[in-house]
Structure 1
Amino acid sequence: MAGPSPGVVEMVELNAQEERIFNTLKQTLAHFGLKTQLRVAGGWVRDKLLRRDSGDIDIALDDQMGVDFAEKVNEYLRLRGEQTREIGHIKSNPDQSKHLETAKVKIHGTEIDFVNLRSETYAEGSRIPEATFGTAEQDAFRRDLTINSLFYNIGTGEVEDLTGKGKADLLARVIRTPLPPRTTFLDDPLRVLRAVRFGARFGFTLDPELVEAASSAEVRAALGTKVSRERMGVEIDLMLKGPDPVGAMRWFDRCGLFSTIFQLPPNCAPAEPQTYGQSAVASLASSAALLDAWPKTEVDSQLPPELRRIFLLAALLLPVKAVTYKEKKSMQPVSKFVIREGLKLPAKDADRVAALHVGSDEFAAAAPALLSPDEEAATSTTGDGMDSLSARRRITAGHLVRRLKELWHAAAILSAVSALSSEPSKPSDAAETAALLVQSVREMGLDRAWEMKPLLDGKAIMAMVGKPGPQIAELTQKVLDWQFAHPKGSVQECSQWLEGVWRSLGSSEQHGNTYPSKKQR
């Protein structure tokens, strides 16, 4: 008989804290003469068999509500003179995937959830089940995946595989549903996304029958009508934060679900590309390959987890960055619709993705100048040095970083992803280009340019020009230009230069004390 798959064990081994908690629960039963069967359900059992740490302990009860048993545990702890915590009573909220009441309480410093075993039935057209008390077997079969249907019986210390498939699927590294997948997905289509997420999380293969069901037109339609956009967004967000977002998105494309999940508005222009999902996944794969070709410590420092999530979302939607839609009276990037309306993620996420798309184009356009050799950058034809390639390079980089703020690293890297898509090359070459762009900005000392204060503020500039007006903002930009070009320049030098610029644009006598129009300039 073959042994367990690498990384999978056959029995649960408890750590000292788990033993202490479970002993307290068994002592509670004995003290009150209760016959309740206590089973740890779902993810904790799966993770323990996979030799992974898990602090997510959900305990299912066969004959009482969770809050009733939690009160008994607290009563027993008080009798022993031990500290107790208030019980959190979370009522059923199907819209948030809380289908049954849950009691939360800390025992010896660890939060434990208590729920009762349940069975579920679904009404036509709804993914919200009618839940009732059930047996352990009914509870196991109503779960989303076989690997999440395992129980650990606290009384016997044994793993219970009541579907007969959970352990085998862990060993075979397969994602499968306890019931026929078509039934499971039509009851609750969100389980398609969960199947994909767990497959990507653990590197497991999706069962062919599951893939066939997920690819069907009826499941696709049910996903679009029965699952809220908020719930889709939560699952996608978890996948982007997970170990294999590319693998997850590939499954959606393969099953024909990409356009349903990352829905575009009907009035977008140009219309949705036929290769929308395929192109998006390819773009995301390119970004992942580029990051893999870069030293991990460098990637982690430039793309911390939250920024990495936004970067991957921007990479995924890169193929539609030029697609727009009409929102009220203005045209907006279609990525904003996908993120805000399709996934119901924060508006800030949509704004940052749109900024990354624009910023990546700007970095791509600026790359030749930013990466030019220093000896080619020093030549100037004017006395102030503002027209030298070196000055123009610094001005370009400074304003780019100032506009993008903390996003500039991600925009520089994303510009290399765009290059990979348009001109196939090695990810290592694209990673080198991105690294050189980042290094160039750093060497110029402009990596935090948005924190730079103009040497001359609005008050000083207004004293120079004589009156307020639109010229103040434009001359402030020129001050920043000069600062970027002259990193060691003084306030006095900047003021003298700006006075010369103002005189050249036209004195107050010539222009009635007004700033020359763009046409005049």
Structure 2
Amino acid sequence: MSSCLAGFRLTHKLARTLTIKRTHTDPGHSSKRQMTKMAKIVLTETETEICTLLNRVADHIRATTNEQLTLRIAGGWVRDKLLGLASHDIDIAVDHMSGFTLAQHVTSYMQLHSIATSSVGKINSNPSRSKHLETATTKVLGQFVDFVHLRSETYEEDSRIPQIEFGTPEEDARRRDITINALFYNLRTREVEDFTGRGLKDLEEGVVRTPMDAEQTFKDDPLRVLRVLRFASRFGYEIEKETARAMEREVVRSELERKISRERVGVEVEKMAEGERPVLAIQLILKFGLYECVFRAPSRETWADDVDVDAMAAESVTRCTLKMLDEASLHALIPSQYSVTLHDRRILILASYVYPFHAAVATDRKRNASVALLVVRDGLKLPTNDADSIAAVHMLVPRITAMAALCCAGPVERNTLGHLIRDAGARWIVATVFAAAVQLHKGVSTDQVVATFSAFIRAVKEAELEDAFKLKHIVNGRDVATLLGCRTGPGIKPVLDRIMDWQLAHPRGTHDECREFIIEEIAPHMPL
């Protein structure tokens, strides 16, 4: 593993000390099994009741149909419980039966015993969205539980959409993305089962690796490349060297580009941005040469200018954005009455990720558009509102930076400040935080950045302009048209702009005073 990645590693401690015991079946058996057992997971009261109820359902099925089932909780819930993290994402994996059929048995059993039930929802497989397996979901004791059958997968050469069949626990574990996501919790024995033989050890040591040959795993489903990056950054784990080598191969990168829909790429990037270590996520994307593939821009032929795109700036700006979002920096910059929400944080991180495109403009539907907007909207398929917000934040950076410098130098006219806040809208605080981060990225000291931008925010507050974007015209368009003897419509906008400028300069101005301004200052200059 490179020294670059080694510096990123931050290993969680397991919730309890592992007591490891390995048992082997006959080595000549075609489905050779290796199970690792450890100290039992500590269940909550609700989890205990759910497990007990599901075991009773399995007993009832055996008694009435002679079908013997083993029920297991699969994947992320097991991993998170071992890390001492709360998890409400319970996926029940069943052998010899479809998840939908099992869910129907569960609801029937609960009805039989007068336990509150809900309808069973069937989520059909949708391979184009990486939903390869039919899933059933229903409420069990007030908590949503998903039901799926154990599966095996085979892939065609030119597709990442697998052929799905019923499988064994070993086959199901091997087809998963990484070993720490391939653990099971057996509801009957109340033991953790590690059919890859590596999941528990990797979890304890903080390692991300694929259960099978990494290159073949990624060629089968290249989305797993991004999932490796996401989980490595989420937990601060080290990517195992063979897994890392496979990710660096050009054939894997080209398969990621060719096979994976932009929607699925966007889902993974969004989760990275919302995670605890978004800087590590973008560092890994850059390290493995995936920036252009992940953040796909429109063809250079559509760009207005040949703008240099410095992908490495994404890491620096993300780091600086997080520094500005640090509690101490944020408190120094923004008064307590303002807040930066989780949604704001997400927009700021995504804006940082696509900052290398901030100066680029391309033709889109016969109009000029920010390349950053197009990357977010089309390259990641994130909501248009997100793309618009990110493009607006980028656009506001130079304006807010210049205004902050003016505020540091001395008083600024109220209407000048007000027009900027109106143009920025409700996102003016978020844009200010981002503008501060960009200045940090450019080498300005933290103290100077905080002093400059806090002066801007203070000026806005003292002028009572925080909500200037909500301000309505004190004299509306119809009244203006009557006063000036003209028609309403787009042609009256310049007059309304002058009225708003007057309002911003005269915060205590009345309706009558504004009418007088219109009659004396605007009407004489209107064309006859």
Q: Give the aligned partner of residue 352 of structure 1.
A: 389
Contact preservation (8 Å) 1:370, 1:397: no
Q: Give the aligned partner of residue 249 of structure 2.
A: 216
Q: Give the aligned partner of residue 205 of structure 1.
A: 238
After superposition, where does 1:41-60 map in structure 2 within 5 Å?
41-60=74-93
Q: Give the aligned partner of residue 290 of structure 1.
A: 324
**Per the alignment, in what secondary structure is the counterpart of residue 164 of structure 2?**
strand
Distance 1:38 1:214, change over 3 A: same
Which amino acid in structure 1 is aligned with residue 311 of structure 2? G
Q: Distance in 1 between matches of 2:169 and 2:516?
A: 83
1:234-273, Cα deviation, whole Å (9 max, x unpaired): 1111111111111101101000000111112222244463
After superposition, where does 1:92-491 map in structure 2 within 5 Å?
92-266=125-299, 267=301, 268-271=303-306, 273=308, 276-292=310-326, 293-295=328-330, 301-373=338-410, 377=411, 390=412, 392=413, 394-422=414-442, 424-468=443-487, 472-491=492-511
Which amino acid in structure 2 is aligned with residue 464 of structure 1? L
**Per the alignment, in what secondary structure is the counterpart of residue 212 of structure 2?**
coil
Shift of 1:370: 2.9
Shift of 1:471: 5.9
Q: Distance in 1 between matches of 2:307 and 2:288?
A: 18
Q: Give the aligned partner of residue 22 of structure 2.
A: none
After superposition, where does 1:75-86 map in structure 2 within 5 Å?
75-86=108-119
Tell me the TM-score normalised to structure 2 length. 0.87
Distance 1:67 1:229, change over 3 A: same
Q: Distance in 1 between matches of 2:118 and 2:56?
A: 18
Shift of 1:126: 0.9
Shift of 1:365: 2.0
**Per the alignment, in what secondary structure is the counterpart of residue 209 of structure 1?**
helix
Q: Give the aligned partner of residue 17 of structure 1.
A: 46
Distance 1:168 1:428, change over 3 A: farther
- More off after superposition, 54-63 vs 309-318: 309-318
- More off after superposition, 26-35 vs 42-51: 26-35
Q: Distance in 2 between matches of 1:71 and 1:83?
A: 14
Q: Distance in 2 between matches of 1:338 and 1:435?
A: 31
Contact preservation (8 Å) 1:59, 1:113: yes
Distance 1:39 1:349, change over 3 A: same
**Per the alignment, in what secondary structure is the counterpart of residue 415 of structure 1?**
helix
Q: Give the aligned partner of residue 13 of structure 2.
A: 6
Distance 1:56 1:236, change over 3 A: same
Shift of 1:301: 4.6
Q: Distance in 1 between matches of 2:169 and 2:71?
A: 10
Q: Distance in 1 between matches of 2:315 and 2:335?
A: 24
Distance 1:192 1:82, change over 3 A: same
Q: Distance in 2 between matches of 1:269 and 1:367?
A: 30
**Per the alignment, in what secondary structure is the counterpart of residue 312 of structure 2?**
helix
Shift of 1:472: 2.8
- More off after superposition, 280-289 vs 178-187: 280-289
Which amino acid in structure 2 is aligned with residue 39 of structure 1? R
Distance 1:133 1:300, change over 3 A: farther
Shift of 1:412: 1.6
**Per the alignment, in what secondary structure is the counterpart of residue 264 of structure 2?**
helix
Which amino acid in structure 1 is aligned with residue 48 of structure 2? E
Tell me the TM-score normalised to structure 1 length. 0.88
Which amino acid in structure 2 is aligned with residue 8 of structure 1? A
How many positions carry a matched residue from both structures? 486
Q: Distance in 1 between matches of 2:224 and 2:315?
A: 21
- More off after superposition, 247-256 vs 490-499: 490-499
1:341-360, Cα deviation, whole Å (9 max, x unpaired): 11111222222222111212
Q: Give the aligned partner of residue 381 of structure 1.
A: none
**Per the alignment, in what secondary structure is the counterpart of residue 329 of structure 2?**
coil
Shift of 1:309: 1.5
Q: Does 1:71 align with 2:100?
A: no
Which amino acid in structure 2 is aligned with residue 483 of structure 1? Q
- More off after superposition, 329-338 vs 300-309: 300-309
Q: Distance in 1 between matches of 2:379 and 2:203?
A: 33
Paired-residue identity, %:
38
For the aligned residue pairs, the C-alpha RMSD in angstroms reads 2.1
Contact preservation (8 Å) 1:291, 1:299: no
Contact preservation (8 Å) 2:295, 2:354: no
Contact preservation (8 Å) 2:324, 2:330: no
* Higher RCO structure, 1 or 2 (CA under 8 Å, sep 6+): 2
Contact preservation (8 Å) 2:51, 2:187: yes
- More off after superposition, 411-420 vs 300-309: 300-309
1:391-421, Cα deviation, whole Å (9 max, x unpaired): x3x1122111112211111112222223223
Which amino acid in structure 1 is aligned with residue 296 of structure 2? Q
Q: Distance in 2 between matches of 1:410 and 1:82?
A: 48
